[in-house]
Amino acid sequence: MTFADKLSFLMKLTNTSNKQLADEIILDASQISRLRSGARKPTRNAEYISAMADFFADASRNDYQQVALAEKIDGLFPLRSLSRAVLAGKLLKWLTEEKQDNSEDEDSGPKYNSVGTFWGPTATTKAMDKLLSMALERGEPTLIQMYSDEEFVLKGESADFYKTLPDRLRELSDIGCNFQRISRPYIDQDYIFSSISLWLPVYMDGIVESYISPQLLESVYHRTIVVIHGIGTMVSTSVGNPSKSNLCYLFTDEAIIEYYAEEFNNYLSMCKVEDLVYKNKDALNRILHFMTMQDNINGDIIQENYSLSLISMPMQLYNSFIKDEAEHLYDNLQPFMNQRDDYLEGMGEDKFTDIINVLPPEVIRNGKAELSITYDTDMERRYYTPEEYRQHLLGIVDLLKKHKNYQVVIANTDKTDANMIFLYGDKKAVLTKIHDDLSLMEITDSELIMIFQQYLQQKYHLDNYTENDRRHVIYFLERLASKIIK
């Protein structure tokens, strides 16, 4: 680069006008203009060049500016470790270098700049943090593509990074960015739940297109690719234990970005969509679809509720509340509720497991037990009266006494989130998130469904459920119901 090219680059990077720079370094604005155009060549020891270096060192403290400087100037990475004086010195040396950049010569070949090289247990998260920061600083919509089959070390700095990842992806979504993520096949319970804990929040927000890779790659050598189009790409590799062998590169050269984008897209073409996400009214319609068993799925059904389930609500309470206060739900649910006993009988040997959370008597008497049907976000939050809650408990008891294949597990957890899991045989899993809005994720991957089944079976010991457990639940619910109304 010529001096004129370097000066123009620095002024654009810092959004500095000719007049602003002239005022700062006590030079005429017309001289700045001639220096930028190349009409005037600076002398090597001109005092104003040192003043320029001081000014641009002060004006280039943001991450995106430092990353841009690192692409141009050798030895500027990592920039955060450089003081203002050191940065000014490096800028002065760069501005006064007589060596010309011959990258446009045909014989010189391409020159690729690595913005950074990262090593060790937090290498991947540090590189990803830098790349996402660059995208946020740019503030422009783009496509972000992510793939990894590495085992991340979720400790220390890495754990802190992943806690903030959903919010950062939402920020990028707000400026118009789109996301595509490829996950490796779900091979074990630990991986599935660590993956879900990281990605479920943004999946449920519907801002990430999720794909699952068709097969495991070679099990010793692993990699991560993140491509942010027009900004940068990071590539991480690890062999064996990533805490000791993780190596990651961050590039901003357009040619390298395009290379890894092509690699990602080639792999994406072999993948399948991992899940479907629905929001608000669409999510509610899907919940009603599954709750009324419209798919006629054979096999055991398991549902984990954050409260008492709608399926177990006694008809008297159902009619008085749903019909009066949620008529649109009543019309959808009424045909199934009228045939609920017939449906349970028709399941034959298949089991319907209802995992519920019950509240202490004092909470119920104070009117703090929320009715689960208020996940319809158009409705106001609705809470049981003590008598309604008591009726619902006794309705569950009635179903337990009538249907041997209906079994209830009391979770005994202080469940503060309003999330639910529904498993329908080995064909479908449905996850719901209820907060400010309603989201539903529908999963059809058989391996993932199996992992969820194993998780719930192990967590609640479902394989060991006996008649003694049934009698204990009946006794507990009847006793709780008697304590609610004093």
- How many residues does the structure list for the chain? 486
Burial label, 259 (beta-carbon count in 10 A; 0-12, 13-18, 19+)? middle
pLDDT at 425: 81
In a domain, 142, yes or no: yes
In a domain, 468, yes or no: yes
Shared domain for 148 and 252, answered yes or no, is: yes
pLDDT at 80: 47
pLDDT at 480: 94
pLDDT at 397: 96
Place of tokens 């006064």: 96
Shared domain for 193 and 306, answered yes or no, is: no
Domain boundary, last residue among 96, 123, 141: 96
* C-alpha triplet 95, 96, 100: angle, nearest 5°: 85
- CB distance 181 to 172 below 8 Å: no
pLDDT at 110: 42
Shared domain for 378 and 294, answered yes or no, is: yes
233 vs 146: CA distance, rounded Å: 10
Question: Within a 10 A sphere around the Cβ of 72, how many other Cβ atoms?
Answer: 16
Q: Quote the tokens at residue 58.
A: 């002060």
Shared domain for 420 and 311, answered yes or no, is: yes
Place of tokens 């597990």: 409
Domain that holds residue 17: 3-96
Where residue 427 sits, what CATH number does that domain have?
Answer: 3.30.870
In a domain, 102, yes or no: no
Domain boundary, last residue among 242, 273, 304: 273
Number of domains in the chain: 3
Shared domain for 333 and 204, answered yes or no, is: no
Where residue 177 sits, what CATH number does that domain have?
Answer: 3.30.870.10
Shared domain for 69 and 181, answered yes or no, is: no
Amino acid letter, 282: D
In a domain, 439, yes or no: yes
In a domain, 107, yes or no: no
Shared domain for 192 and 245, answered yes or no, is: yes
Shared domain for 268 and 283, answered yes or no, is: no
Shared domain for 132 and 269, answered yes or no, is: yes
39 vs 80: CA distance, rounded Å: 36
pLDDT at 403: 92
In a domain, 109, yes or no: no
pLDDT at 64: 67
Longest dimension (CA), the chain: 97
Domain boundary, last residue among 219, 251, 273: 273
Shared domain for 54 and 133, answered yes or no, is: no
Burial label, 216 (beta-carbon count in 10 A; 0-12, 13-18, 19+)? exposed
In a domain, 72, yes or no: yes
239 vs 338: CA distance, rounded Å: 59
Shared domain for 151 and 28, answered yes or no, is: no
pTM (2 decimals)? Answer: 0.55
Which of helix, strand or coil describes residue 154?
A: coil
Tell me the backbone φ, ψ of residue 77, rounded to 5 degrees. -120, 135
pLDDT tens series, the chain, 486 aa: 788 889 988 988 888 988 899 888 888 888 888 888 887 888 766 788 989 999 998 888 776 677 677 777 765 544 445 677 778 888 888 888 765 444 444 444 444 455 678 877 778 888 888 999 999 999 999 999 998 877 654 444 567 787 788 888 889 988 989 899 887 765 555 555 566 656 666 665 667 787 877 654 445 567 789 999 999 999 987 665 555 556 788 998 888 898 899 989 988 888 877 555 555 566 566 666 665 555 566 788 898 888 888 788 887 777 776 665 556 566 666 666 677 777 777 777 889 999 998 999 999 999 888 876 554 445 567 788 999 999 999 999 999 999 999 999 998 655 545 577 888 888 788 877 665 566 677 777 776 788 778 878 888 899 889 999 999 999 999 999 999 976
Chain-centre distance for alpha carbon 105: 45
Shared domain for 64 and 130, answered yes or no, is: no
pLDDT at 271: 80
Where residue 68 sits, what CATH number does that domain have?
Answer: 1.10.260
In a domain, 101, yes or no: no
